[in-house]
């Protein structure tokens, strides 16, 4: 017995490694979740990629207004996918806390959303579709499945039609036909709308289709549109783009990508406070006019009482007390604004304004503040739309102008240097240092695409303009001026275009400034 007791420790030590091998491996800690969305950090990111074949990740900032607006739709999309039993998961990363992850994946603005497939970190796909739950789900399904779902029976077709605001179904007796192939090419090109294809006789009967065709189903306006014409990818895409937006659409954080990403680049905007007594009547007038310009002008209404929309009012030079009001804008290479001659908001007046615009009979509307009495009393002269031509194109003066926005962080940093530059040349006989608030003043001769923009107007005939692209220091500005606008001048390929993306840029400051900046990085 004593011998057995002596052997026990030896047996235990020998068997322990074997016993450990037989024990189940310790499970990885469960990933944190919030409203059905995975919450990822640097120490859990790899685990999430390993566990989920399809992973959509939002890199956000807690202070970002766009991120806050996206949050409920993002959670709704996650819930919808979960309810369907999808293997796609949605996740989010606080990029202000996990800065190394943000840097690794090239996050420059908020929110940035990237799609990871099969754990591949090398080239995640950038999410570029709309910000409503249906848009997110449709985009993800296109990335993980066929461009168009095969609808075997009526139940499948009805389920698809009910699933989203807009759905497109192709009815083809032979799904391998050339027409069906063109339909599938169109389906592959559209990210944010679900497509279906069917050859089922029952599905044809259900939707009263007797020959090959395409129907766009929608939960607004006419309810559906039937395609007419030759089955080509381009024809189908034009049909879908023309009919997939409501005749009149409200501008919100969620609808903005659809509005700005659409093919129609002429927009008429009704600034209408929802608190106004005859709100519905004015909106009905606007809708009544819209049908006449389908495919030519996009009709948009904006709640002018909403705090998120105040920057848009400023952009058009409007004040809340001036609303309801109508403005029109073209979003081509240069943004141009137009204002109706009449303040009446009847359907006839709105139609008349649009018809005159399309006929080229309306002149652009250029904003200008009133000229301050003391505009030339300080070293830095104050320009507005009304005095710009006279000062900037004075043939006897060299005029250096800063075009700024009051909310722009970079402009605020530049202000003391610009004031010092004004003091340096305050007594100079032919150098003028000036500034203009470009959110409240516009001029035909100069189009401003970012803030701050610095332009030099040299003395002499010819109305010449030189862009400054040198160092934003007092010494840099002085060298530029003393060289006659040569040292620091921008080459043609250095000129920057305006960043029209709605995303917030990575700059510290208060939330209001960060939400809608057009500053340069």
- Residue 101 has a CB neighbour count (10 Å cut-off) of 18
- In the structure, how many helices (H) and strands (E) does the chain have? 17, 23
In this structure, what DSSP letter does residue 113 have? E
Scan for tokens 């104050």, then name that residue.
382
Catalytic residue among 12, 64, 323, 354: 64
User: Which residue in 12, 323, 354, 408 is the catalytic one?
Assistant: 408
With 0-12 / 13-18 / 19 or more C-beta atoms within 10 angstroms meaning exposed / middle / buried, residue 180 is buried
- 411 a catalytic residue: yes
Backbone angles phi, psi at 9, to 5 degrees: -60, -40
Q: What's the Cα-to-Cα distance from 415 to each of 163, 236, 351, 418, rounded to whole Å?
A: 53, 52, 45, 5
Q: Closest by alpha carbon to 418, among 403, 428, 407, 430? A: 403
| Contact yes or no for 129/257 (Cβ under 8 A) | yes
- Give the pair of three-digit tokens for residue 275: 């608190």
Q: Is 67 a catalytic residue?
A: yes
Radius of gyration of the chain (CA): 30
For residues 203 and 156, give the distance between their C-alpha atoms in angstroms, rounded to a whole number.
9
Q: Among the options 12, 67, 323, 354, which is catalytic?
A: 67
Burial class (CB in 10 A: 0-12, 13-18, 19+), 163: middle
Peptide bond into 324 cis (omega under 30): yes
354 is catalytic: no
Strand residues in 251-324 grouped as ranges (E) = 266-271, 298-302
Residues 6+ apart with CB under 8 A from 360: none
The two tokens of residue 25 are: 């491996």
Helix (H) or strand (E) holding 381: strand 380-383
DSSP state of 509: S
248 Rama sector, left if φ>0, alpha if ψ -120 to 50, beta otherwise: beta
The answer to whether 59 and 110 have CB atoms below 8 angstroms apart is yes
Distances in Å between the Cα of 100 and the Cα atoms of 61, 114, 116, 468 are: 14, 16, 18, 34
**C-beta separation of 180 from 171 below 8 A:** no
Alpha carbon separation from 313 to 195, 269, 325, 328, 511 (Å, rounded): 37, 11, 10, 13, 18
User: CB–CB of 56/91 below 8 Å?
Assistant: yes
Query: DSSP letters of 156-178?
Result: HHHHHHHHSSEEEEEE-SSTTSH
Q: Which positions are catalytic? A: 64, 67, 408, 411
């Amino acid at each position: 017995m004593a011998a057995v007791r002596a052997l026990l420790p030896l047996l235990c030590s020998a068997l322990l490694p074997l016993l450990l091998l037989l024990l189940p491996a310790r499970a990885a800690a469960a990933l944190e979740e919030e409203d059905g969305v995975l919450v990822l950090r640097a120490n859990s990111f790899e685990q999430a990629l390993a566990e989920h074949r399809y992973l959509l990740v939002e890199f956000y900032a807690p202070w970002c207004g766009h991120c806050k607006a996206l949050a409920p739709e993002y959670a709704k999309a996650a819930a919808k996918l979960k309810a369907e039993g999808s293997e796609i998961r949605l996740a989010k990363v606080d990029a202000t806390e996990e800065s190394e992850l943000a840097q690794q994946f090239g996050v420059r603005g908020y929110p940035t959303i990237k799609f990871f497939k099969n754990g591949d970190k090398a080239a995640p796909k950038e999410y570029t579709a709309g910000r409503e739950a249906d848009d997110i789900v449709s985009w993800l399904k296109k990335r993980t499945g066929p461009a168009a779902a095969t609808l075997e029976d009526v139940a499948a077709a009805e389920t698809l039609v009910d699933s989203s605001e807009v759905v497109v179904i192709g009815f083809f007796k032979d799904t391998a036909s050339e027409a069906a192939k063109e339909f599938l090419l169109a389906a592959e090109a559209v990210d944010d709308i679900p497509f279906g294809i069917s050859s089922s006789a029952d599905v044809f009967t259900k939707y009263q289709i007797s020959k090959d065709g395409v129907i766009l189903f929608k939960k607004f306006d006419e309810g559906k549109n039937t395609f007419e014409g030759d089955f080509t990818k381009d024809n189908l895409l034009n049909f879908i783009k023309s009919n997939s937006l409501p005749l009149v659409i409200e501008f919100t954080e969620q609808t903005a990508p659809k509005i700005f990403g659409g093919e129609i680049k002429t927009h008429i905007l009704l600034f209408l406070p929802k608190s106004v007594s005859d709100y519905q009547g004015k909106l009905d007038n606007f809708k009544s006019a819209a049908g006449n310009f389908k495919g030519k002008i996009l009709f948009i209404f904006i709640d002018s009482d909403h705090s998120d929309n105040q920057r848009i009012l400023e952009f058009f030079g409007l004040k809340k007390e001036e609303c309801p009001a109508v403005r029109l804008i073209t979003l081509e290479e240069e943004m141009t604004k137009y204002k109706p001659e009449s303040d009446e908001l009847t359907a006839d007046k709105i139609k008349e304004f649009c018809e005159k615009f399309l006929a080229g009979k309306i002149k652009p509307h250029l904003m200008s503040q009133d000229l301050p009495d003391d505009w030339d009393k300080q070293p830095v002269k104050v320009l507005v739309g009304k005095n710009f031509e006279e000062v900037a194109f004075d043939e006897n003066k060299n005029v250096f102008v800063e075009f700024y926005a009051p909310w722009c962080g970079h402009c605020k940093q530049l202000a003391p240097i610009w004031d010092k530059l004004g003091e340096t040349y305050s007594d100079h006989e032919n150098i003028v240092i000036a500034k203009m608030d470009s959110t409240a003043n516009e001029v035909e001769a100069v189009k401003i695409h970012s803030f701050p923009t610095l332009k030099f107007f040299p003395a002499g005939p010819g109305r010449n303009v030189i862009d400054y692209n040198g160092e934003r220091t007092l010494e840099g500005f002085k060298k530029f001026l003393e060289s006659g606008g040569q040292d620091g001048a921008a080459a043609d390929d250095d000129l920057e275009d305006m960043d029209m993306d709605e995303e917030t840029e990575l700059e510290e400051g208060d939330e209001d400034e960060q939400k809608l900046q057009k500053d340069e990085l």
